[in-house]
Amino acid sequence: MTKADDRLIVALDVPNAIQGLKLAEQIGDAVSFYKIGLGMLTGGGLALANELKEEHGKKIFLDMKLFDIGATVENAVRGLAQFDLDFLTVHGDPYVVKAAKEGASGKDMKILAVTILTSLDRQDLNGALIKDGDIKDLVQERAGNAFIAGADGVIASPQEAALIRALPEADGKLIVTPGVRPAGADLGDQKRVATPANAVADGADHIVVGRPVWRSENPRAAAEAIVQELSSVQAVRPNH
């Protein structure tokens, strides 16, 4: 039996809490950390987060990507922090990060800043009127600004993990990478991807994997295979 590895976060990107709980029960003790995203919010996502945390001893990453005026973000985070969750995402704009950290004050919940979504490429950024420049450079710049604003970590694609880990501001901070696909897996809507081992070797503390696990005929076996791959690699941690 493969022991769970906290570096693997499985995304429960299924329609509702009933299916999410069923999937978690299928996977069992092979996974200790789950992501619940915006898509399940109206399908009982918060209730599932509480059940997995309180009754099953799992860690929970609530992926809300909050973005609003500072006061609204602070109030929303303060409310969510009462659920004793582990990670929460907000957009990486410094004022949003600062407000989120105020809302999480006194709690252990980590605030993770979104840099640039892993489903986007330069053409997408042009359409959104994002300033010119290579995506990797923009991600590194946004990550540095988020760290300075107080973020506990950032969300970035595996392809930018090494660049972010090299930042002096990244010392002691978390890097969480979606867009991770085991070798041979379908890329889906992700455009900037890497394998689990490569992502961790490049500096990621946690990887997020969804479809390759929950679409598998045997989700537990799929998760165990990723954990096995991670067991052979250590993360890069430069000294600052």
Residuewise pLDDT in 10s, the chain (240 residues): 567 899 999 999 999 999 999 999 999 999 999 999 999 988 999 999 999 999 999 999 999 999 999 999 999 999 999 999 999 999 999 999 999 999 999 999 999 999 988 788 999 999 999 999 999 999 999 999 999 999 999 998 877 889 999 999 999 999 999 878 776 555 454 444 578 888 898 889 999 999 999 999 999 999 999 999 898 876 544 433
Does the active-site annotation cover 136? no
pLDDT recorded at residue 120: 86
Q: How far apart are CA 84 and CA 15, in angstroms?
A: 23
**167 and 140 Cβ atoms separated by less than 8 Å:** yes
pLDDT recorded at residue 48: 97
Beta-sheet strands, E only, within the chain: 8-11, 33-37, 59-66, 87-91, 110-114, 153-155, 174-177, 206-209
pTM of the model: 0.91
Q: Which helix (H) or strand (E) holds 228?
A: helix 219-230
- Catalytic residue chosen out of the listed positions 53, 65, 107, 136: 65
